[in-house]
Copies of this chain bind each other. A is one copy, B any other.
């Protein structure tokens, strides 16, 4: 970054706000543009790389190995409890991640001549101009707003001074494992960290506002997940944290009180639109603060697309998912380069995976959201691989349109759910109905995928039965 005089004003062809998915737009095909890249994060490169998908999955893999070993008793193995070297685990993760972050920064800052990187906070002063904390002003006809999101602070912890109150960013870099931990929240982030830290030997208590953890998912999945979580850590449901004092004594709204060594807040994320001053600059924002964009990812102001301004990722998307942000980045890149041939929209239903133990993966409608659909639920335990695992709790649930046979929703809980779902994503994205699908290809026996094959066969049967019943009913009508 060049030295800049205070209040210097710089013009670029393109400003990209965010070093994560926005940054991925930069490439040779943009080498004709002068680009300002803004990333004010402590670590360059966005949430996925530094504090999200990537490091959490490295922690999860270690937890999976430890948890599998713990569960091995019934199999005829006696694996003594793993000794967990937290510092080694953490340093393995960040030894790699921080290098990648640093290399990503150097690449953009030093190796690409048309890119200037700014490592400070900016806010909009008008729709094509931003001012930084140092006073520098940046102007461009095209701006990509990909500023991401940040962990939502825990209201009960506001003003409480204790360094053992963490969010999902800071928790991964703690000095040592606590003996006990309270995780506040019932979503994916809470589910993953509860798995990780309980597998590492921490006494975890999860405080969930809803009736079940993963309450926004299909209720069978949420119930099963909560039941299995309870076998590994304490889950207090229907509860909120009323207060936390500086010694980490926690009071729930039920009146229950307990102490803990560490608090992890995992109650969701808020879009980084407020600090950008998007609303003040006239951009439309949703009630939750997200920038409003249209199907072509164009930022709206007064309901109308603002010329050259795009949004993508957590700052604008209702899906806080890296694969969605990546897709949006590809859309934005195309639309930046070919503004007279805009593209947009999703290639198909949006899957999500939760890398807890068990894994969960899903897309589309839940059973409750599709009351007219047919629903097929197939247990892993009915397949050979499920037998091998001695699995009695995992399943694949399909929500299918009884008329068309289209998969409206898929919900898996169990080993490798994050991979098993892909065939279903494929079928739903290509508009291929369940009727005939399982038998249209071979499924290697006895792979885990047979649970999907059998769920498809079950769903097909239900669709055929429903059609048959409707023909009969139709025929009986006067």
Contact = CB atoms under 8 A, between A and B. Distances in A.
A389 interface: yes
A441 B347 contact: yes
Most buried by B among A48, A74, A421, A444: A444
Interface in A22-70: 48, 53-54, 57-58, 60-62, 65-66, 68-69
A76 B65 contact: no
Interface stretch (A4-12, A102-110, A380-388): A380-388
A442 B439 CA distance: 24
Main secondary structure of the interface of A (DSSP, over half): helix
B444 A418 contact: yes
Interface in A307-324: 321-324
A195 to B, nearest CB: 14
A206 interface: no
A84 B76 contact: yes
Interface residues of A, number: 79
A65 B58 contact: no
B423 A441 contact: no
Most buried by B among A85, A440, A449: A449
A323 B442 contact: yes
B80 A79 contact: yes
Interface stretch (A228-236, A267-275, A425-433): A425-433
Contacts of A452: 422
Given A77-B83, A416-B419, A323 B65 contact: no
A361 interface: yes
Contacts of A89: 75-77
B430 A449 contact: no
A85 B80 contact: no
B54 A75 contact: no
Interface in A393-417: 416
Interface string A174-218: 000000000000000000000000000000000000000000000
A1 interface: no
A62 B77 contact: yes
Interface of A: 48, 53-54, 57-58, 60-62, 65-66, 68-69, 72, 74-80, 82-92, 96, 321-324, 326-327, 330, 346-353, 361, 384-385, 387-390, 416, 418-423, 425-427, 429-430, 432, 439-449, 452
Given A75-B92, A78-B83, A416-B416, 18 more contacts: A54-B387, A60-B388, A65-B77, A65-B79, A69-B69, A69-B82, A72-B82, A76-B92, A77-B82, A323-B442, A351-B442, A352-B444, A418-B444, A418-B449, A422-B441, A423-B423, A426-B441, A430-B432
Top 8 A-B pairs ranked by shortest CB distance? A76-B89, A76-B88, A429-B441, A418-B447, A78-B83, A353-B444, A322-B445, A80-B80
12 contacts: A53-B445, A54-B384, A65-B68, A68-B69, A72-B82, A78-B83, A79-B79, A347-B440, A361-B447, A419-B419, A425-B442, A429-B440
